[in-house]
């Protein structure tokens, strides 16, 4: 396995306004496929802030998430990790960031009806680059591991690239965003 993080990094402190350990974290956007309650067959990840630079997420696999009969689709598992890793970056650093690279190792199948517990850890930062990794267990057995590079961005990134009607809807109803993030931390 290649060394991780792949470049020299520093380990940041938790943002002073990061949620305290054991705090249940709100959905970050009502229409997010990973965590939003408004998405009927979304993943509906639930997350809790952990100690240090960690966040624990839980994803319960339903019949809508199948790839093979009775088993979670690998792409949706990767999506769950994207969300869980992004939640760690967003809540612990309180800065907007997007996924630039995500790699997943699928070690065991994840059956419908089980809950994948995803423990994400912020490993280090180098400039705008944020390196995070996570392990997912089902009933105590490791099923999936993932590593990702997130890049911090200005809020302008979302305004410039998002569909205007969706941006407008959020501007009219900020409650669609679960929790604000610092624009100039
Ligand atoms: C409370 C709230 C909770 C919030 C909770 C939120 C949870 C959200 C979870 C879901 C998150 C998502 O899915 S986000 C959606 C999926 N991702 C995206 O749409 C991103 C699409 N890509 C882009 O927009 C762009 O490529 C960027 C922003 C990532 C980078 O573009 P840029 O800003 O021009 O920066 P750029 O110079 O290219 O890259 C910066 C540095 O990163 C490196 N870099 C960039 N991409 C890569 C890469 N794939 N692999 C290696 N390295 C890379 C570059 O070499 C450079 O290194 P150096 O020269 O500095 O050394």
Per-residue pLDDT of 122-173, as tens digits, reads: 999 999 999 999 999 999 999 999 999 999 999 999 999 999 999 999 999 9
CA of 156 to the centre of ligand 1 (A): 14
Residues lining ligand 1, judged by CB closer than 6 Å? 28, 34, 82-83, 86-87, 90-91, 98-101, 127-129, 149, 151, 153, 179, 181
- Whose Cα sits closest to atom 45 in ligand 1? 100
Find the angle CA(155)-CA(94)-CA(21) to the nearest 5 degrees: 155
ipTM for this model: 0.98
Ligand 1: which of 18, 57, 98 to mutate, most ligand atoms within 8 Å of CB?
98
Of 25, 100, 158, which is best to mutate to test ligand 1, by the most ligand atoms within 8 angstroms of its C-beta?
Answer: 100
Q: Which two tokens stand for residue 185?
A: 């931390």
pTM metric for this prediction = 0.96
Which pLDDT does position 178 carry in this prediction?
79
From the CB of residue 21, how many other CB atoms can be counted at a distance below 10 Å? 14
Evaluate the omega torsion of the peptide bond into residue 5 and state whether it is cis, within 30 degrees of 0.
Answer: yes
| Secondary structure (3-state) at 121 | strand
Domain 24-176 -> CATH class: alpha beta
For residues 51 and 21, the answer to whether their CB atoms sit within 8 Å is yes
- The full set of domain ranges for the chain reads 24-176
Q: What is the CA radius of gyration of the chain?
A: 16
Atom of ligand 1 nearest to the CA of 94: 1
Q: Which tens digits make up the pLDDT trace of 90-101? A: 999 999 999 999
Backbone dihedral angles phi then psi of residue 71, each to the nearest 5 degrees: -125, 145
């Amino acid at each position: 396995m290649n060394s991780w993080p792949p470049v020299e990094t520093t380990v940041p402190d938790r943002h002073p306004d990061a949620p305290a350990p054991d705090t249940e974290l709100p959905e970050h956007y009502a229409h997010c496929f990973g965590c939003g309650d408004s998405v009927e067959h979304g993943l509906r990840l639930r997350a809790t802030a952990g100690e240090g630079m960690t966040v624990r997420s839980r994803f319960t696999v339903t019949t809508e998430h199948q790839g093979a009969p009775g088993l979670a689709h690998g792409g949706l598992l990767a999506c769950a990790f994207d969300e869980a890793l992004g939640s760690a970056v967003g809540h612990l650093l309180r800065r907007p960031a997007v996924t630039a690279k995500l790699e997943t190792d699928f070690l065991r199948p994840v059956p419908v009806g089980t809950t994948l517990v995803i423990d994400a850890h912020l490993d280090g930062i180098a400039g705008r680059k944020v390196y995070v990794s996570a392990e997912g267990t089902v009933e105590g057995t490791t099923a999936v591991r993932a590593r990702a590079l997130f890049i911090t961005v200005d809020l302008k990134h979302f305004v410039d690239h998002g569909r205007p009607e969706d941006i407008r809807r959020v501007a009219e109803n900020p409650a669609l965003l679960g929790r604000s993030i610092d624009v100039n931390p």
